[in-house]
Every structure is written in C-alpha cells, then in structure tokens.
Structure 1
Amino acid sequence: MTIKIGEHLPEGKLAEFIEVESAGCTLGPNTFAVADLTKGKKIAVFGLPGAYTPTCSAQHVPGYLKHAADLKAKGVDEIWCVSVNDAFVMGAWGREQKATGVIRMLADGNADFCKSLGLDADFSKFGMGTRSQRYSMLIDDGVVKQLNVEQAGKFEVSNAETLVGQLG
C-alpha cells in the first residue's frame, strides 16, 4: 500500500556518502535512521529510478538544484534525492551533478525504504531489478504533507516546479 498524505514515514534507514568527516559522521558511507533525519525538519524529497539514468540526470536533479533557493525560501530545511543505488554511486553522482551541499544524495541500496513507502517498481525488464518509482513529497517532522507520484515513464508531477508551487 502506498503511503498517503497525513501519514508518518515508516521506520527506515538511508545511507549517504560523507565527503568531509565531522562529529558523528565518518568519511565515506554513513547510515542514518529516517526518523532521526526528519525530526523537527521540513524536507523536500524526490525519489527516482536510478543514478545516471537519462531523465534523472538531465531533468530531475538539475531541476531541484535550480529551484533549491525557492524551496528554502518557502521553509524547506533540506532537499533529498533518494534512489535504489549504493552510497558510493550516489556520492559520485552528486559530485558530478554539483549537488554537494545542496541536495543530500541518499542511497536506498536494497530498496527497503521505497518498499516500505509502497513506491517500489519492478524494472527487471530493463535489467535493473527493484527500483523506486519517480515521486516527490514534502515531509514535515516525519509526516507526509505533499505526495506526487508519476505514472510509469512520465516526468510531469515530481519535478521541483510542482513542489515549489504546492508550497504556496
């Protein structure tokens, strides 16, 4: 069952490749509990099928980079890109996209988080296994406030412009 507006995010963990060591975060992949990351924060999340894939690289991430200041101006604390890839791939893709420090590139390596959201998709026919559907959502203190799920093969409602518009 797909998560709905008004529901709390399920328990889960996401991994992030940390570029600079800091208190509590070592250099390299670090795993975080979603509940801890969302506590007291407003977060724009967009999920996509995979790093380095055409629409994701040419439109989805660049759109959120372009509109990052607009999202922040509307009270968003963080922007997350979540994909079924490992933290190494997400870190490299984030560097290539020049997203470091703007968008948190979070890995859902085994698709556990997207499955718990009911937003997983079978991409086996493309040789990619289980992946995430393309979506965006606004999370406020762990609660889903907006949710935009794309129809298969589309890129119409999960873009940054749509989420910015929903924030008023």
Structure 2
Amino acid sequence: MNTKRKKKTNENANYSHSIENNNNNSDLTEHDIQMLNYFQNEFLYRHTHYWSIAIKLFITTVVITILPLTTSVFGIELSNITDKKLILCFPVLGLITALISFLILRNEAQRINAVNRAKYRINKECLPSKYQYIYYEEKDPKKWQTFVISNCILIAELLIIACSALFIWRLY
C-alpha cells in the first residue's frame, strides 16, 4: 500500500515538474498529451451526447403534445371524447416532459462547459506556446452557446404545447 502511495506521489511530482518545464517551452510529457487527448475525447462525447438527448427529448415532447390531434388517423374523433380533461392531459404531460428535458439539457451543458474549461486549462498550462490554442477567454460568449440552445429548445417546446392546448380547447 505504501508503495502505491509513493508511486502516486512520484507521478504527481513528475507531473507538476512537467508543467513547470512546459511553461518554459520544453518537450511535452506523455502524461500531458494523454490528459489533453482524454479531455478532447470527453468533450466530443459530451457534445454528441447533448445533441442526441436534445433531439430525442424534443421529439418525445412534441409527440406527446400533439397526440390528441392525430386521433382522427386512428379512427377516433376528438368530438366523440366527452371528458375534456382526458384530452388536455396530453399537453400537460408534454409540459412536464419539456421541463424535465430542459433540466437534463442544462446539466449536460454544464458538463460540457466543465470539460471544456479543463481542456483549455491543460492546453494553457502544459503545452508549449507554439501548440496552444490561439484564442481563449473565460468569458467567451460562445461558451454559453449550449445554455442558449437549451433555452431555445424549451421555448420551442412550450410554444408547441401552448398552440396544441389552444387548438384542442377551441375544438370544444
């Protein structure tokens, strides 16, 4: 057990030493390259995962919301359903799904931001200046792009839900 602890301490010492050396534009260590590669792959995975979830949840919300409007395709007329509450439960379920999807997408956007910050920090601290990203600001407006997209998806879902609920309400 002590051997593992000593080995880990030596690795940490070597890593911090490599950071100091890399700030002086010396060669990269294998560990630095692996960490940067890891965070780049993690960023790509998170980004792909975000869009996969966004598309699936948007389609789910829209289908749940407009399901009563497609009943004539299945041979059921809305005017034959006497209880309006049964029909209006679909837009309510759509609203709940939209809010849950918004929370999920906001959390994913925060994870993307965290991975991106780590990637740029490693780039700034470990890479020689000729390999560093040219432009990176902590308050870059592009960083909030995923948060804005989450808000836009929620607004679109809420508009679809409102239109569907109004249309169903006016059918009676």
- TM-score range, shorter-chain basis? under 0.3
Greater relative contact order (CA < 8 Å, ≥ 6 in sequence): 2
TM-score computed with the length of structure 1 as normaliser: 0.23
Q: Which has the larger radius of gyration?
A: 2
The structure richer in helix per residue is 2
TM-score computed with the length of structure 2 as normaliser: 0.23
